[in-house]
């Protein structure tokens, strides 16, 4: 028996600002389309920013009965529908008796916020009798993952990660670790976020958003990021178990790296050392060297400090090697689910040895001296690294090899 089990990715459920399903995501990115548009779901007149990568025409009742949705908040609805898509994509079968060997790890920044805001508003305005009791169970961030487990009888570990922008990749790393240790056969993992008005307004006051509502990763003129929303949930599975059920394999997770950095509250890390450690750990864990990595999918989102920091980390790890670098956040926005969405898009594009364009990038910045391009490019192979850096100092990196196209 191997020292640890190998981890395959055998299913993708995706709801993005481009539509339902991962085909819509990869088609839009292949055509260099940005999903950033004016926010219409709530009033932004008091804000400086007015655009985000928002969902359009998302109707959960097309997948879940309306009576069941009455007890589910916005992020929970996203997660439940995404679970339905994942089950179909991965050809998972449930016999109604539940699964002890299948758990869930979900990353989110905003789960519970809609219900908490509504509950507190009613409590303040009308007192205890005016606060709807049906909302209370959704005021906790782990409600979405718990609802998915109840719906499908998942009796394995159930964990929610709320680590800002790093949330979903942190969840995937945790889930993969459980499979490697043979504690479970499979884990469902990823991220889900919806734009909540209070959250958006508070973030807007901190001032991290792009002044002209355009995210330009690694670009000379970058001045901040835009938020996004959506959900991506992946099925991570023991490779032996996946082979036994003849599952389609999108790729294999080879290495995991995690590190913390010194950072002020709501700020990006003070230096690149934590990001460097996470990347190096992931490559070492995969028993590879930097020259074996064919592309880096970056966490850069258009924030001046973050992009320069990550570029410095990439130069430190890869040295003179000009590894192709891409960031998808100029197209899909920033969220707790962005890391998982980037991982899914990377799996699909790298299966065809293609590195997507970095939407928003136009003018190179000497402080971000990495091999980034506004155009899609061919990669030398199918092994890639995905980075995520969270404000507050969380760093995760995964090394993954996509299956052949």
Average pLDDT, the chain: 94
Structural domain of residue 134, as residue ranges? 7-244
| Confidence tier at 2 by pLDDT (50, 70, 90) | low
Which sign, positive or negative, has the C-alpha torsion 240, 244, 246, 247? negative
Instruction: Please report which residue ranges of 319-392 form alpha helices under DSSP H.
Output: 329-332, 338-350
In this structure, are 66 and 213 located in the same domain? Answer: yes
In this structure, are 165 and 297 located in the same domain? Answer: no
| Confidence tier at 68 by pLDDT (50, 70, 90) | confident
Q: 244, 271, 288: which is the final residue of a domain? A: 244
In a domain, 249, yes or no: no
Q: Mind listing the pLDDT tens digit for each residue in 229-256?
A: 999 999 999 999 999 999 999 999 999 9
pLDDT of residue 146: 95
Pairwise CA distance, residues 208 & 323, whole Å: 29
Asked whether the beta carbons of 130 and 123 are under 8 A apart, the reply is yes
pLDDT of residue 20: 96
Q: 244, 265, 291: which is the final residue of a domain? A: 244
In this structure, are 38 and 61 located in the same domain? Answer: yes
In this structure, are 142 and 240 located in the same domain? Answer: yes
In this structure, are 235 and 318 located in the same domain? Answer: no
Q: Mind listing the pLDDT tens digit for each residue in 127-139?
A: 888 877 777 788 8
pLDDT of residue 115: 84
In this structure, are 135 and 228 located in the same domain? Answer: yes
Q: Mind listing the pLDDT tens digit for each residue in 138-167?
A: 888 899 999 999 999 999 999 999 999 999
In a domain, 124, yes or no: yes
Type and span of the H or E element at 154: none
In this structure, are 228 and 266 located in the same domain? Answer: no
Interacting residues of 23 by C-beta distance below 8 A, sequence separation 6+: none
In a domain, 59, yes or no: yes
Q: Mind listing the pLDDT tens digit for each residue in 89-127?
A: 999 988 778 899 999 999 999 998 888 888 888 888 888
In a domain, 360, yes or no: yes
In a domain, 251, yes or no: no
Pairwise CA distance, residues 345 & 386, whole Å: 11
In this structure, are 215 and 80 located in the same domain? Answer: yes
Closest to 302 measured CA to CA, from 36, 16, 28: 36
In a domain, 366, yes or no: yes
Asked whether the beta carbons of 18 and 24 are under 8 A apart, the reply is yes
Mean pLDDT of 298-320: 97
Type and span of the H or E element at 194: none
Q: 223, 244, 265: which is the final residue of a domain? A: 244
In this structure, are 14 and 152 located in the same domain? Answer: yes
In a domain, 83, yes or no: yes
In this structure, are 78 and 220 located in the same domain? Answer: yes
Pairwise CA distance, residues 182 & 92, whole Å: 20
Which sign, positive or negative, has the C-alpha torsion 378, 379, 384, 390? negative
Pairwise CA distance, residues 194 & 17, whole Å: 11
Mean pLDDT of 358-362: 97
Pairwise CA distance, residues 351 & 93, whole Å: 26
How many domains does one find in the chain? Answer: 2
Q: Mind listing the pLDDT tens digit for each residue in 191-233?
A: 999 999 999 999 999 889 999 999 999 999 999 999 999 999 9
The proportion of the chain whose per-residue pLDDT surpasses 70, expressed as a percent, equals: 99
In this structure, are 101 and 212 located in the same domain? Answer: yes
Is pLDDT above 50 for 1?
no
CATH number of the structural domain spanning residue 12: 3.40.47.10
| Confidence tier at 359 by pLDDT (50, 70, 90) | very high
pLDDT of residue 265: 83
pLDDT of residue 405: 57
Closest to 397 measured CA to CA, from 281, 260, 250, 293: 281
In this structure, are 319 and 374 located in the same domain? Answer: yes
Q: Mind listing the pLDDT tens digit for each residue in 22-46?
A: 999 999 999 999 999 999 999 999 9
In a domain, 1, yes or no: no
């Amino acid at each position: 028996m191997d020292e640890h089990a190998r981890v395959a990715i055998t299913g993708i459920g995706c709801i993005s600002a481009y539509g339902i399903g991962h085909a819509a995501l990869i088609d839009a990115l292949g055509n260099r389309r940005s999903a950033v548009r004016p926010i219409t779901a709530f009033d932004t007149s008091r804000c400086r920013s007015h655009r985000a990568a928002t969902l359009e025409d998302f109707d959960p009742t097309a997948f879940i009965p309306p009576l069941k949705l009455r007890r589910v908040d916005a992020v929970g609805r996203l997660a439940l529908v995404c679970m339905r898509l994942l089950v179909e994509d991965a050809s998972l079968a449930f016999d109604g008796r539940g699964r002890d060997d299948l758990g869930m790890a979900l990353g989110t920044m905003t789960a519970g916020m809609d219900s908490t805001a509504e509950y507190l508003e009613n409590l303040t305005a009308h007192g205890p009798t005016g606060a709807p009791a049906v909302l209370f169970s959704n005021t906790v961030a782990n409600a979405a993952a718990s609802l998915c487990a109840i719906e499908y009888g998942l009796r394995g570990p159930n964990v929610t990660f709320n680590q800002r922008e790093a949330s979903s990749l942190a969840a995937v790393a945790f889930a993969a670790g459980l499979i490697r240790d043979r504690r479970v056969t499979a884990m469902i993992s990823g991220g889900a976020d919806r734009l909540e008005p209070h959250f958006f307004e508070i973030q807007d006051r901190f001032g991290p958003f792009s002044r002209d509502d355009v995210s330009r990763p690694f670009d000379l003129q970058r001045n901040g990021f835009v938020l996004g929303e959506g959900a991506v949930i992946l099925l991570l599975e023991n490779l032996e178990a996946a082979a036994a059920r003849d599952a389609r394999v999108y790729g294999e997770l080879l290495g995991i790296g995690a590190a913390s950095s010194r950072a002020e509250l709501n700020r990006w890390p003070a230096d690149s050392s934590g990001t460097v450690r996470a990347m190096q750990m992931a490559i070492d864990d995969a028993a590879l060297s930097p020259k074996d990595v064919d592309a880096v999918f970056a966490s850069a989102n258009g924030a001046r400090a973050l992009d320069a920091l990550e570029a410095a980390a990439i130069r430190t790890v890869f040295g003179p090697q000009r590894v192709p670098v891409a960031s998808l956040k100029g197209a899909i926005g920033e969220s707790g689910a962005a890391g998982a969405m980037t991982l899914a898009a990377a799996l699909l594009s790298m299966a065809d040895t293609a590195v997507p364009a970095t939407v928003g990038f136009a003018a190179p910045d000497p402080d971000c001296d990495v091999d980034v391009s506004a155009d899609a490019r061919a990669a030398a192979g199918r092994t890639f690294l995905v980075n995520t850096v969270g404000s507050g100092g969380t760093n995760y990196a995964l090394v993954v090899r996509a299956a052949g196209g």
